[in-house]
Structure 1
Amino acid sequence: MADTRARLSDAQLAALARYDFGLTTEPPELPEADGYEDAEGVLVATADGGALTVREVPRWRSPASVHAELAVRGWDRPAGWVGRPPDDVSGLPDRLLVLLPVAGTAPDSAVISLGAAVWADRAAGRELVVVPVPVTAAEPEVPWLDLAAAYGAGPVASHVDPAPPSTGGRAVMFTGLSGAGKSTIAGRLVELLLAAGHTVTLLDGDEVRTHLSAGLGFSKADRDTNVRRIGWVAAQIAKHGGLAVCAPIAPYAATRADARRLVEEQAGPGSFVLVHVATPLEECEARDRKGLYARARRGEIPEFTGISDPYEEPTDAELTIDTRGTSIDESARQVFAHLTGE
């Protein structure tokens, strides 16, 4: 029988690293397979008769390797810190082991390098060793003091601030039925942001379909692929501190969640903003300037969202807008205020 391989997510790889590093005694919950790969197809672990053998978890530095570096530097149990630097660094010691809890981020995530860069800038003149660790900041799988001790640090300095860093980039995704007003509001939002001096990339639905998603149809699988591609591009923009605006129908909750994960892995928590343009079906159908709903009612357009295919209303939207009582400009300004605080 041929070996079976499973491709692990970033969260699963972090769990595998925690287990391999002895930060937890519980093996991670993984799908049944003979071997496990990372996103690039590198074999990271094997399973034989229920026994899990970890070969290597790329990107994550083991506590042993950090201990070795500290020994070379001549550091004996330096003070430790978990997370980003405090606003006032005057009380920090001159020598510090910084642990960045960034479990779940992608291997090339800018969040990791950004965290190191923030420390280098804020704590200039101090000796630092900055290490990403496979622990979740908001709900740590390992107590901070135990984590610091595992990597060779002494008492955690001052206090612990586990909040993960952010690139400052954002991705705004409008979702709603055809004819709800998504694209029009998105276009007006871009105008407002440009007028305020922001650099914005608009991922126009028609252009995405023509170029990025050329060849895709409107089946559930193709729609999912289209939205995930949009999410990936938006994530790359946000990763480098940019602002992306997109307005796909995005009818399925799981796919929208994938897009959110892609963006927040690259740009940090809160970098994905979902706007539900909640114009009801009857209003969208009454507008129907392109005659799409009429064609769908006649069965000429299969798998049409709201008619022959479901639209799963968001329960996690940062903003919900109903254009029946709000103008396009007012709707766009609501989103603008959410993004800028103005």
Structure 2
Amino acid sequence: MSARSRLTDVQVAAVARYHFGLSPTVPELPQSGDWEDAQGVLVGRPGERGPTVVEIPRWQSPGTVAQRLAERGWAVPTAWVGRPPTDVAELPAQVLALLPVAGAPADTATISTTAAAWARVRATGRAVEIVPVPVTAAQPEVGWAELAEAYGATLLGSRVDPEPARTGGGVLFFTGLSGAGKSTIAARVVELLLEAGRSVTLLDGDEVRHHLSAGLGFSQADRDTNVRRIGWVAAQIAKHGGIAVCAPIAPYAAVRADVRHEVEAQAGRGGFVLVHVATPLAECEARDRKGLYAKARAGEIPAFTGISDPYEAPTDAEVTIDTTGKDVDACARLVLDAVLAGPLQAPAPSP
């Protein structure tokens, strides 16, 4: 068996577009070995004139869709791209709903929320065929009329939001020095969210280290891996409408930015809220019950954030709090006041 290169969702979508004739652009792919998707399914292999496709499990070819509709008696299918119109009265009795979701995972909220909107159209008695298509919503590689024609339909209209769908979930990501008060405030925020009836999960730093990141040390690479793992789990929670609260030190700006991108790709823009607990180093040292700062200054703990390892203070935090002399409950309510009226406010359901 020859070696395989794993393709990203974006690359698999590009292969599908090229194979289906939706784009003349030959995708840029690894030139050695065969190609598989994220699930390990053999997608194709390099050929002299572009990729030779073996199988693309996620995407339905235009020909397959057109044949299926013909077999159902849809003589001249009408297509609508994206979410249904606000006034569904303009839709015919039969409609092909094409969802441009290239690059998004199969369980993305964009698909689930749009499919739910089309399910409400079905409830009006209309026949609806929903087909995700390997085209990018924000910068489509083919015009909507040409897309509909490729699937054997005529275009009636479109309603495409280039931004990922808002799920109503989100991530409260606390960052700051050891002893700043992150975990204490985060725990109180969780209590207040539960009292408000929200679905919330606390990703405790020690628990994550024990269960999810066992074996990792405290080098920069290992710290980055730990924070990215926390971010990935938090994004999955937010994608399904829950709120994840996490409070790692997360000292490096680039990794925090990666987590923000992951969360917003899953939960929609505004779904990530960075809370900088900006308690000064001197105050953190004064609170140090475990004597960690003293050990770090004595050289007993290498690469300790704030002493022998840098902490890159955020410039993009939605909330910044210095806990010096402040009550925990007051700090927690300050965070909630900032986010529940904005970023984590549950969106109204799409029509």
Q: Is the 8 A contact 2:227 2:250 kept in 1?
A: yes
Alpha-carbon distance, 1:81 to partner? 1.7
Residues 272 and 70 (structure 1 numbering): CA distance in 2 closer, same or farther, change over 3 Å? farther
Alpha-carbon distance, 1:127 to partner? 1.0
Q: Distance in 2 between matches of 1:322 and 1:18?
A: 51
Residues 255 and 76 (structure 1 numbering): CA distance in 2 closer, same or farther, change over 3 Å? farther
Q: Which amino acid aligns with 1:189?
A: V
Structure 2: segments with no counterpart, 5+ residues: 343-351
Give the TM-score, by structure 2 length.
Answer: 0.83
- Which position in structure 1 is the counterpart of 2:68? 69
- Which position in structure 2 is the counterpart of 1:82? 81
1:150-173 deviation per Cα after TM superposition (whole angstroms, max 9, x unaligned): 22221233x423355443322222
- Which position in structure 1 is the counterpart of 2:348? none
Q: Is the 8 A contact 2:85 2:159 kept in 1?
A: no
Report SS of the residue matched to 1:214. Answer: coil
Compute the RMSD of aligned alpha carbons.
Answer: 3.0
Give the TM-score, by structure 1 length.
Answer: 0.85
Q: Which amino acid aligns with 1:12?
A: Q
Residues 277 and 135 (structure 1 numbering): CA distance in 2 closer, same or farther, change over 3 Å? farther
Alpha-carbon distance, 1:206 to partner? 1.3
Give me the identity figure in percent.
66
- Which position in structure 1 is the counterpart of 2:17? 18
Residues 149 and 232 (structure 1 numbering): CA distance in 2 closer, same or farther, change over 3 Å? same
Q: Distance in 1 between matches of 2:298 and 2:208?
A: 28
Q: Which amino acid aligns with 2:309?
A: D
Residues 188 and 113 (structure 1 numbering): CA distance in 2 closer, same or farther, change over 3 Å? same
- Which position in structure 1 is the counterpart of 2:26? 27
Q: Is the 8 A contact 1:85 1:161 kept in 2?
A: no
- Which position in structure 1 is the counterpart of 2:7? 8
Question: How does 1:256-267 map onto structure 2 within 5 Å?
Answer: 256-267=256-267
Q: Distance in 2 between matches of 1:151 and 1:317?
A: 45
Matched, 1:216 2:204: no
- Which position in structure 1 is the counterpart of 2:196? 196
* Worse-superposed segment, 227-236 or 126-135: 227-236
Q: Is the 8 A contact 1:104 1:265 kept in 2?
A: no
Q: Distance in 1 between matches of 2:50 and 2:160?
A: 37
- Which position in structure 1 is the counterpart of 2:302? 302
Runs of 4+ in 1 over 6 A off after TM superposition: none
Q: Which amino acid aligns with 2:143?
A: P
Q: Distance in 1 between matches of 2:271 and 2:58?
A: 23
Q: Which amino acid aligns with 2:16?
A: A
Question: How does 1:217-232 map onto structure 2 within 5 Å?
Answer: 217-232=217-232
Alpha-carbon distance, 1:205 to partner? 0.9
Residues 32 and 80 (structure 1 numbering): CA distance in 2 closer, same or farther, change over 3 Å? same
Q: Which amino acid aligns with 1:138?
A: A
Structure 1: segments with no counterpart, 5+ residues: none
Q: Distance in 2 between matches of 1:15 and 1:333?
A: 46
Alpha-carbon distance, 1:39 to partner? 1.6
Q: Is the 8 A contact 2:15 2:51 kept in 1?
A: no
Q: Distance in 2 between matches of 1:107 and 1:151?
A: 20
Residues 224 and 307 (structure 1 numbering): CA distance in 2 closer, same or farther, change over 3 Å? same
Report SS of the residue matched to 1:53. Answer: strand
Q: Distance in 1 between matches of 2:299 and 2:262?
A: 35
